Amino acid sequence: MTTFIVLGAQWGDEGKGKMTDYLAEEAEVIVRYQGGNNAGHTVEVENRQYKLHLIPSGILYDHKLNVIGNGVVVDPEALFSEIDYLENLGVKVTPEKLAVSDRAHVIMPYHKTLDKLKEKARGKNEIGTTGKGIGPCYTDKFERSGIRICDLMNKDVFEEKLKENLSLKNKYITQVLGGEALNFKEVFDVYMEYSERLKPYVKDTSVLIYEKIKDNSSVLFEGAQGMLLDIDYGTYPYVTSSNTTAGGVSSGTGIGPSMISRAIGIAKAYTTRVGKGPFPTELEDATGDWIRERGHEYGVTTGRSRRCGWLDLVILKTTARVSGLTSFAVTKMDTLAGLEKLKVCIGYKFKDKIIDYFPASLEDLAECQPIYEEFEGWGEEITQAESYEGLPQNAKKYLKRIEEFTGTKVSVISVGPKRNQTIRVGDI
Ligand code: GDP
Ligand code: IMO
Ligand code: MG
């Protein structure tokens, strides 16, 4: 039995979807533990591209169990549109293949309204959220006024909670934020339809996963977003509203930490970020544009162009520590082919010190000057490489430096979006 976490080691979009799909071959159960449909995970199988937001990337296999854990926030509208999208592409989504936690919180229409209105109210300090209602839904969860899936399953409970919420939310929306009130009956009727459709999928997923672990099944926990979007360890407030780091797995699934054996950090060979917030190694020049075009760095969920920059080993070292990584998977090594020189950040000059950890304060971070080490690039395309030995010498040096600096081995190297464009170097 192995239980392992696949998590983003940077600002999201590292290739978690691809790596989850690749590693899911070795797992029977694939579990999402945080975030919601703010995520956009791309998987390419046999010339077809799938874009997943809420459903675990293991769904593309015929006989694996996929779980949406209690730590996820679930927008039923998004869930059903994803199920329909997959079914249209010939992927079966049945209650045998997908379970949704009865403890997960439900994204309501007012969460989406609030997300957009609050962003507008922040003005120049906007976070650049995906507008999917993620933050307001988690706010209600922690404020203890949220509506859970189990509440949605009970008509009377749901009715009462919706009324209570709408009476306060509508005042806030109309009187403070200048938006339009939501109509109780309209929301209630639509959500009652969702409730019916959702019912067969709803389970106590902590019990379900625990039983699978006891049966010796392998379980893969699929993270969304990335280390620096973590609510505690990210570039607060330019973060998402959940724990994207390994610590989020236990609380987000109801599985104790001693039952989780490995954590693999997915790291892109360079760095990208969507939305606002600091980014020390950002390249706002022709090289950044070159990487964006060659790496097709445009968001899966919002279509926004991603900011691009050099690989930052300070970030990877921080992720290795915070999430206790057992190894890295380095993706998009193929994208960098063709750059004559590559830079890698190996520390920040901060006041009169050199630091190799990520500071908490954004004001301190703004003062940090990245210290770079330069590497010779590799001219040759590597999308066909099948082994570590087959990689150019300079690519190997680049990977070795990641291992050396972070004290964490690289167990997987990805050289293209497809399953077979993956090189396994060792145990995860
Ligand atoms: P996620 O959110 O971490 O799952 O990543 P996204 O799907 O948002 O973005 C990663 C993009 O890179 C997707 O379009 C993937 O198909 C693609 N991708 C993943 N690994 C590789 C790789 O090694 N090389 C290339 N060229 N593309 C990759
Ligand atoms: P995957 O799983 C990249 C970013 C948003 C914004 C911030 C807060 O595909 O890696 P939110 O809507 O979560 O309140 O937005 O977080 N963000 C992501 N960036 N990849 C993601 O997911 C993201 N999910 C949220 O752009 O800056
Ligand atoms: Mg993504």
Among candidates 20, 15, 28, which has minimal Cα distance to 56? 20
C-alpha distance from residue 376 to each of 312, 329, 398 (Å): 17, 21, 9
Atom of ligand 1 nearest to the CA of 39: 2
Atom of ligand 2 nearest to the CA of 135: 14
Mean pLDDT along residues 328-344: 98
Task: Say if ligand 2 is within 6 A of residue 134 CB.
Answer: yes
Burial degree of 330 (CB within 10 A; 0-12, 13-18, 19+): buried
Q: Which ranges in the chain are annotated with CATH 3.40.440.10? A: 3-101+202-263
Does the domain formed by 267-424 have CATH 3.30.499.10? no
Specify the DSSP class assigned to residue 266. Answer: E
Of 7, 38, 242, which is best to mutate to test ligand 2, by the most ligand atoms within 8 angstroms of its C-beta? 38
Residue 72 has pLDDT above 80, yes or no: yes
Distance 413 CA to ligand 3 centre (A): 18
Looking at residue 302, its pLDDT comes to 85
**Structural contact between residues 128 and 122, judged by C-beta atoms closer than 8 angstroms:** no
Cα–Cα distance, 137 to 341 (Å, whole number): 44
Atom of ligand 2 nearest to the CA of 275: 27
415 or 46: which leads in pLDDT:
415
- DSSP class per residue in 77-96: HHHHHHHHHHHHTT----TT
In the chain, pLDDT over 70 holds for what percent of residues?
100
Q: Which ranges in the chain are annotated with CATH 1.10.300.10? A: 105-198
Q: Supply φ then ψ for residue 239, to 5 degrees.
A: -140, 180
Catalytic one among 41, 53, 105, 111? 41
Distance 124 CA to ligand 3 centre (A): 25
Question: What does the pLDDT look like over 305-317, one tens digit per residue?
Answer: 999 999 999 999 9
Atom of ligand 2 nearest to the CA of 40: 9
Distance 14 CA to ligand 1 centre (A): 6
Catalytic one among 13, 75, 115, 140? 13
What the block records as the tokens of 250 is 């236990």
41 in active site: yes
Distance 39 CA to ligand 3 centre (A): 5
Residue 288 has pLDDT above 80, yes or no: yes
Among candidates 339, 348, 350, which has minimal Cα distance to 375? 339
Mean pLDDT along residues 193-205: 98
Among candidates 408, 31, 48, which has minimal Cα distance to 218? 31
Residue 1 has pLDDT above 90, yes or no: no
Residue nearest to atom 8 of ligand 1 (CA): 13
Cα–Cα distance, 4 to 28 (Å, whole number): 12
Of 38, 42, 225, which is best to mutate to test ligand 1, by the most ligand atoms within 8 angstroms of its C-beta? 42
Q: Output the CA torsion sign for 107, 223, 268, 370.
A: positive
Looking at residue 158, its pLDDT comes to 98
Q: Are strands 327-331 and 410-414 parallel, antiparallel or unpaired?
A: parallel
Q: Which CATH architecture has domain 105-198?
A: Orthogonal Bundle (1.10)
Atom of ligand 1 nearest to the CA of 17: 4
Cα–Cα distance, 415 to 381 (Å, whole number): 9
Does the domain formed by 3-101+202-263 have CATH 3.40.440.10? yes
Residue type (1 letter), 394: N
Q: Which ranges in the chain are annotated with CATH 3.90.170.10? A: 267-424
Q: Are strands 65-68 and 29-32 parallel, antiparallel or unpaired?
A: parallel
Residue whose token pair is 């249209």: 88
Atom of ligand 2 nearest to the CA of 223: 2
109 upstream amide cis, omega within 30 of 0: no
Mean pLDDT along residues 393-416: 98
Question: What does the pLDDT look like over 78-130, one tens digit per residue?
Answer: 999 999 999 999 999 999 999 999 999 999 999 999 999 999 999 999 999 99
Looking at residue 301, its pLDDT comes to 84
Question: What does the pLDDT look like over 254-270, one tens digit per residue?
Answer: 999 999 999 999 999 99
Task: Say if ligand 2 is within 6 A of residue 101 CB.
Answer: no
Cα–Cα distance, 345 to 280 (Å, whole number): 9
Of 6, 18, 51, 332, which is best to mutate to test ligand 1, by the most ligand atoms within 8 angstroms of its C-beta? 18
Looking at residue 300, its pLDDT comes to 85
Phi-psi region of 75 (alpha: psi -120 to 50; beta: other; left: phi over 0): beta
In this structure, the residues whose C-beta lies within 6 A of any atom of ligand 1 are 8, 12-18, 40-42, 44, 300, 331-332, 334-335, 414-417
Among candidates 140, 196, 209, which has minimal Cα distance to 168? 140
**Structural contact between residues 135 and 241, judged by C-beta atoms closer than 8 angstroms:** yes
Q: Supply φ then ψ for residue 133, to 5 degrees.
A: 85, 15
**Structural contact between residues 69 and 254, judged by C-beta atoms closer than 8 angstroms:** yes
How many C-beta atoms surround the C-beta of residue 209 within 10 A?
Answer: 26
Task: Say if ligand 2 is within 6 A of residue 38 CB.
Answer: yes
Q: What integer best gives the mean pLDDT of the chain?
A: 97
What the block records as the tokens of 141 is 């969860």
Phi-psi region of 294 (alpha: psi -120 to 50; beta: other; left: phi over 0): alpha
CA atoms within 13 A on the CB side of 278: 21
**Structural contact between residues 76 and 198, judged by C-beta atoms closer than 8 angstroms:** yes
In the chain, pLDDT over 90 holds for what percent of residues?
97
Torsion, Cα 338 339 344 350, to 10 degrees, reads: -160
Distance 414 CA to ligand 1 centre (A): 9
What contacts 48, CB < 8 A, 6 or more positions away? Answer: 89
Looking at residue 122, its pLDDT comes to 96
Residue 66: which pLDDT band, with cuts at 50, 70 and 90? very high
Mean pLDDT along residues 288-313: 95
Residue 242 has pLDDT above 90, yes or no: yes
Distance 396 CA to ligand 2 centre (A): 31
Residue nearest to atom 6 of ligand 2 (CA): 129
Residue 386 has pLDDT above 80, yes or no: yes
Question: What does the pLDDT look like over 122-179, one tens digit per residue?
Answer: 999 999 999 999 999 999 999 999 999 999 999 999 999 999 999 999 999 999 999 9
